[in-house]
Amino acid sequence: MRHESWITRIYGYEAFRDDSAKFISAHYDRRAGTLKEEYMIYSKKDTNIHVKAFYSYTAKKFQNIDYSLSKQLDSIKKMKLYEIKIFQPSKYYENYKLTMDGFEQRYTLEALEVPDQKKFLSIFNRYLRDIGKSR
């Protein structure tokens, strides 16, 4: 299953397309070139189930990277979506006499420094050869 098909189906473009995302607030920082938006996302099956979602976009970073958390949202905002934070509140289920703890999920793009690129590529290529041999 592709990355985009599980994260963004729940918290990406699909939430906006089917009207389950309700806008709360936005903050644009012109100097940093960032936009942060907050939404409440409701379950279509049970509107008592909801999450608070924060979407962070950048106009300056990651523009030369083809990978995306949501190409559709990048295209709509004309900025790169670089972080999605989801807060699920705790919920009590009467049927089961059970409280499910709240939790946070975070999906982010980050630039990582690779000090020795040749060594890194050598190890990575060796890994690719090794897994090819094991099949």
For residue 122, what pLDDT is reported? 92
3-17, 29-43, 109-123: which is most confident: 29-43
Please report the pLDDT score of residue 59 as a whole number.
Answer: 93
Residue for token digits 């990355």? 3
Q: What is residue 84's predicted lDDT score, i.e. its pLDDT? A: 92
Domain boundaries, the chain: 3-133
Name the nearest CA neighbour of 89 among 130, 38, 52, 42: 52
Residue 103 CB partners (closer than 8 Å, separation 6+)? 87, 88
Q: Tokens 């644009």 map to which residue?
A: 28
Q: Give per-residue pLDDT as tens, 60-102.
A: 898 888 788 888 889 899 999 999 999 988 888 888 999 989 9
